[in-house]
Amino acid sequence: MHPVSDTIAALATPLGEGGLAVLRVSGPAAFTIVDACFRPAGPLHRKPSAAPSHTVHYGHVEWAGRVLDDVLISVFRGPRSFTGEDTVEISCHGGVLITRLVLEALLGAGARAAEPGEFTQRAFLNGRIDLAQAEAVADLIHARTELALGVARQQLAGRLSARIRTLRDGLMNLLAHVEAHLDFPDEDIAPDTGAALRRRIHVSLELLDELLRTAPEGQLLRRGLRAAIIGRPNAGKSSLLNVLLGHDRAIVSPVAGTTRDTIEETANVRGLPVVFVDTAGLRDAADALEVEGIRRSRAAADRAELLLHVLDASEVLHPEDAARLTEFAARPRLLVLNKSDLPRRLVLPADAVGTTTVVEVACTTGAGVEALKDALKAAVWRGGVGSEALEVAINARHQDALTRARAALQRADQAWQAQVTLECIAADLRLAVTAVGEVVGATSTEDLLDRIFSTFCLGK
């Protein structure tokens, strides 16, 4: 972790050509550094050091005796800024060369190039946001559906943080009560007092369970679902991919074995980001290229969390289809009967299907595709988490911390029931408080912070 006494600068918008680009400078010397290379355009506009907070000024960036670009600068005086420090944002023209030259001018004037996520890290270190809100910044940027975006916005607004603080405050009060009795060992805990304290453990366990129930949905919204489209050649796998995406992505041909490699595309399915993987047809093949394609198809199926097994409803059940029905019987899957607009000849054996959801579609007309999307969401979305709970949907790191907190609380509860010494109960309560605090960064290590913020994009 770099010292926060440095003043950092970075491009805050994506690198590339565009109408505008924004560079961000933050730190104790932000105003001095921008002063060195910004020339206001007239008396109404000022250098950052002389400008009031939250004002915008027009001028140009000069460096090494030449004008680089006409810009607007936005001035934010700490602590009323995103990072909590003096901050200047420079809006210039969005050319690759222009942004590079302006950034070089800022670095030449004394700024240090920011590391990925370092602006958000400073916002956390300066108390502007907690760790859960900091992670929400990255979730907001990477959201691929409106549902995921809404969850990220709620977390950034502090919905999860408020729940965590309520939980942690309750545990700390409980721990304080237990430690008070440790300080006065001659005074036994009255039975009714002990029962009340144990009820408080149960209340905390219920709050933990409520949060932990949101983990599958929260992680699904953040990382998406991998769904492999499998089946025999010419069953309509590539056609299904195209109709799910809403545009032609895969080549469709009546020639069997056209697809020789896997094709991946992400689509928004009922608010869920789904990575569809079109695969080569599964069959016995002698052609070396097709054999390799089938090997990759099986590897994609192994990595997938859901299989869309496509069968041709206009043909009788092929022995290879029957073999695949048995082979993938234990995997989460949907059976997609394509070409349902043609006379039906396919009969599925009841013992091979079991309770698997079967959906009929016609890729040529689009019939049944909306029902397939509903079935896909139902297959992975448990539905036990309401919209209010979804506002605090936790990620994998939160889940790990809260699971450890729950285990510690359960040990404390069992110890209380077994009338184990208060020292042991207090030790487990401390572990629970520490684990819960990790979610918002109330208890954190430098390694943890570096690991989290290193996943952010540059300039954020």
CATH (domain of 271): 3.40.50.300
pLDDT category at 26 given cuts 50, 70, 90 is: very high
The tokens describing 52, both together, are 């009031």
Contact 228, 301 (CB under 8 A): yes
| pLDDT tens digits, 33-47 | 999 999 999 888 999
The Cα 409–Cα 401 span in angstroms is: 12
Cis peptide leading into 79, omega within 30 of 0? yes
Q: Considering only 150-164, 173-187, 253-267, 294-308, which range has the smallest mean pLDDT?
A: 253-267
**What pLDDT is recorded for position 260?**
47
- 369 and 243 together in one domain: yes
40: β partners: 59
**What pLDDT is recorded for position 76?**
97
Strands 225-231 and 306-312: parallel
Query: Of 114-128, 264-278, 318-332, which one has max mean pLDDT?
Result: 114-128
**What pLDDT is recorded for position 184?**
67
| Residue 3 covered by a domain | no
**What pLDDT is recorded for position 251?**
46
**What pLDDT is recorded for position 119?**
94
| Residue 187 covered by a domain | yes
Q: List the one residue out of 218, 223, 395, 400 whose CA is nearest residue 305.
A: 223
Q: List the one residue out of 381, 393, 281 whose CA is nearest residue 332.
A: 381
- 119 and 144 together in one domain: no
Task: Please report the sign of the dihedral spanned by the C-alpha atoms of residue 268, residue 269, residue 271, residue 275.
Answer: negative
**What pLDDT is recorded for position 256?**
47
| Residue 446 covered by a domain | no
Crossing angle for the helix pair 422-440 and 131-142, to the nearest 10 degrees:
40
Cα–Cα–Cα angle for 212, 396, 357, rounded to 5 degrees: 75
Q: Cite the beta strand spans of 64-203 per DSSP E.
A: 66-76, 87-94, 112-113
User: Reduced to 3 states, what is the DSSP secondary structure of residue 120?
Assistant: helix
The Cα 135–Cα 460 span in angstroms is: 11
| Residue 328 covered by a domain | yes
CATH of the domain at 138: 1.20.120.430
- 105 and 244 together in one domain: no
**What pLDDT is recorded for position 384?**
47
- 183 and 304 together in one domain: no
- 117 and 141 together in one domain: no
Q: Cite the beta strand spans of 53-157 per DSSP E.
A: 55-63, 66-76, 87-94, 112-113
Q: Considering only 260-264, 274-278, 298-302, 447-451, which range has the smallest mean pLDDT?
A: 260-264
CB hemisphere CA count around 42 (13 angstroms): 3
Contact 23, 89 (CB under 8 A): yes
**Residue range 247-266: average pLDDT?**
58
The Cα 400–Cα 15 span in angstroms is: 35
The Cα 228–Cα 326 span in angstroms is: 17
Q: List the one residue out of 363, 336, 375 whose CA is nearest residue 248.
A: 363
Contact 358, 379 (CB under 8 A): no
- 175 and 243 together in one domain: no
User: Reduced to 3 states, what is the DSSP secondary structure of residue 224?
Assistant: coil
**What pLDDT is recorded for position 235?**
82
Q: Show which of 75, 95, 126 is a domain's final residue.
A: 126
CB atoms within 10 A of CB 459: 21
Higher per-residue pLDDT: 54 or 227: 54
| Residue 457 covered by a domain | no
The Cα 280–Cα 292 span in angstroms is: 9
**What pLDDT is recorded for position 360?**
92
Query: Of 106-120, 129-143, 215-229, which one has max mean pLDDT?
Result: 106-120
- 354 and 234 together in one domain: yes
| pLDDT tens digits, 59-71 | 999 999 999 999 9
CA distances (Å), origin 176, targets 191, 431, 433: 18, 14, 11
Q: Show which of 331, 354, 380 is a domain's final residue.
A: 380
The tokens describing 403, both together, are 């699971």
**Residue range 99-115: average pLDDT?**
95
Q: What is the DSSP string of 419-444?
A: T--HHHHHHHHHHHHHHHHHHHTSS-
| pLDDT tens digits, 387-420 | 556 677 888 999 999 999 999 999 999 988 888 7
The Cα 403–Cα 16 span in angstroms is: 43
- 321 and 403 together in one domain: no
Taking the model in full, what pTM does it have?
0.78
Higher per-residue pLDDT: 449 or 150: 150
pLDDT category at 168 given cuts 50, 70, 90 is: very high
Label residue 255 exposed, middle or buried (CB < 10 Å: 0-12, 13-18, 19+).
Answer: exposed
| Residue 451 covered by a domain | no
CB hemisphere CA count around 151 (13 angstroms): 28
- 186 and 230 together in one domain: no
Domain count, the chain: 3
- 370 and 408 together in one domain: no
**Residue range 370-395: average pLDDT?**
75
- 184 and 247 together in one domain: no
Higher per-residue pLDDT: 124 or 247: 124
| Residue 112 covered by a domain | yes
Q: What is the largest CA-CA distance in the chain?
A: 87
- Examine the pLDDT at 179 and tell me if it is beyond 70: yes
Residue 148 backbone dihedrals phi, psi, to 5 degrees: -65, -40
Q: List the one residue out of 443, 449, 415, 408 whose CA is nearest residue 429.
A: 408
| Residue 453 covered by a domain | no
Contact 429, 408 (CB under 8 A): yes
**What pLDDT is recorded for position 29?**
97
| pLDDT tens digits, 260-296 | 456 788 888 888 888 888 876 555 555 555 566 666 7
| 35 Cβ contact partners less than 8 Å away, ≥ 6 residues apart | 47, 48, 49
Contact 433, 412 (CB under 8 A): no
Contact 7, 112 (CB under 8 A): yes
Boundaries of domain holding 151: 134-214+391-441
Percentage of the chain lying above the pLDDT 90 cut: 43
Q: Cite the beta strand spans of 236-332 per DSSP E.
A: 263-269, 272-278, 306-312
**What pLDDT is recorded for position 385?**
46
| 361 Cβ contact partners less than 8 Å away, ≥ 6 residues apart | 240, 243, 336, 337, 338, 340, 367, 368, 369, 371, 372
**Residue range 233-254: average pLDDT?**
72
**What pLDDT is recorded for position 249?**
59
Mean pLDDT score of the chain, rounded to an integer?
85
- 312 and 423 together in one domain: no
- Examine the pLDDT at 89 and tell me if it is beyond 60: yes
